[in-house]
Structure 1
Amino acid sequence: MTSLGLWVVRRPHGVGDGDIAVGYARAQASTSYGLAFFFLVETVGVSFMLAEHPVPHLVMLVLDLYTVLLVLGLHAAAVTRPHVVGPGGLRVRRGARLDLRIPLEAIASARYDLRFPDANKAEDGVLDVAVASQTSVTIELTRPVTAVSLLGRRTEVRTVRCHADEPQAAVAAINGLLPVGA
């Protein structure tokens, strides 16, 4: 719900002075808005069906409106929590569910690399942060970094693949901060 508030006032989370925000939510926007619309239509339909039963009507109305807010909140989290490239390193994020900080000295290279990873096949040492079932930037690391999932599972990764709305600009921003010859 915090993300909804940030979205309304158009403030990104965790982007400081001198940092470059790299958006990734554009690919999922139509799906998010479509889901919110259909949940809203369902809310109206269920409201008419349960109009003669006040208690179930109120319960379903609250649940349905919460569902609409939840879908919009998930999209707002992706919009307000972009990937961040800055002097302190790279932050690869997936809404409020993932925040991987990679120091600049741990980055070997970054390149544009459009992929459609299979969610059922995880590669050892690779973190796929796909949006709309695609990644567009591959970051190779000089040493492993630890990615922590929302539920606390720790994974050592040597390659990070993520999506960016403007992948060439994201790669240029990352490579622009790397030492010459990296």
Structure 2
Amino acid sequence: MRIAHVLVRHEVRMLASLVLWLARRRHGTDGGRAFGYARGQGPVMFGLAFVCLVETVTMSVLLRDWLVPHAVMFFLDVYTIVFVVALHAANVVRPHVLEAGHLRLRRAVHVDLRIPLERITSVCRELRTVDERAEGRLDLGVGAQTSVTLELAEPVAHFTFFGRRRDIRLVRFHADDATELVKALTQARNARSPLPDRPR
């Protein structure tokens, strides 16, 4: 029952993201500075949607004489196209957000992690390839790559898709403008806890 609830909630959020995308609106960015991460994956996602469309037309022609299989496959194919477009939409309308006191990292509707700025010990622009999952590390890559690395003084709780808790001390994620995000995050951290003056 819990799994069904999680899946239904996921689908509703995906479709809601599609509506926001069509309306050219964003989710959860009020009062913060948004940093997108979906720019590079757009052509790939729309290419995949086009392939699904070709398959839909092909299967529709092949199964036109079998009413029930035709209806079932047509529904599944159309839903797949909607799902692919909605996934891209979710990535666009749910960007990372630098808020007052927090950095909110997101990945479509699957990840929404708030990291208090005071827990961040270091931030750097670093191009990395996503590899095997490691304990205490969260990778939010796009195209199997991340561009920003955060190290934390204390772990933050991250809950997986089905609710399992993971304590995260190192976060690697992608941002379209990684340099600007690192600069803004550094300024926000220094504004909250100014660095001591260097000795002359």
Q: TM-score range by the shorter chain?
A: over 0.9
Identical-residue share of aligned pairs (%): 47
Q: Which runs of 5+ in 1 are unaligned?
A: none
More helix per residue: 2
1:145 paired residue number? 156
Which of 103, 106, 110 pairs up with 2:119?
Answer: 106
Q: Secondary structure at the match of 1:157?
A: strand
2:53 paired residue number? 40
What root-mean-square deviation, in Å, do the aligned CA atoms of Structure 1 and Structure 2 show? 1.2
Amino acid at match of 1:181: L
Supply the distance in 1 between the matched residues of 2:94 and 2:65 (Cα, whole angstroms).
Answer: 43
Q: Does 1:13 align with 2:24?
A: no
Q: TM-score, normalised by structure 1?
A: 0.94
User: Following superposition of structure 1 onto structure 2, how do residues 52-63 of structure 1 map, counting pairs within 5 Å?
Assistant: 52-63=65-76
Q: TM-score, normalised by structure 2?
A: 0.86
Contact 1:86–1:177 (Cα < 8 Å) also in 2:
no
Which of 16, 23, 30 pairs up with 2:36?
Answer: 23
Supply the distance in 2 between the matched residues of 1:27 and 1:153 (Cα, whole angstroms).
Answer: 30
Q: Does 1:175 align with 2:175?
A: no
Amino acid at match of 1:98: V
Q: Does 1:117 align with 2:130?
A: yes
Q: Which runs of 5+ in 2 are unaligned?
A: 1-14
How far 1:177 moved relative to its partner? 0.6
> Deviations along 1:42-64, whole A, 9 cap, x unmatched?
00000111111222211111111
2:10 paired residue number? none
How far 1:122 moved relative to its partner? 2.1
Q: Secondary structure at the match of 1:92?
A: strand
How far 1:68 moved relative to its partner? 0.1
1:50 paired residue number? 63
User: Following superposition of structure 1 onto structure 2, how do residues 74-93 of structure 1 map, counting pairs within 5 Å?
Assistant: 74-93=87-106
How far 1:181 moved relative to its partner? 2.0
How far 1:26 moved relative to its partner? 1.4
Amino acid at match of 1:53: W
> Deviations along 1:64-110, whole A, 9 cap, x unmatched?
10000000111111011001112131011111001011011111121
Q: Which one is further off, 6-15 or 100-109?
A: 100-109
Deviation beyond 3 Å, 4+ runs, structure 1: none
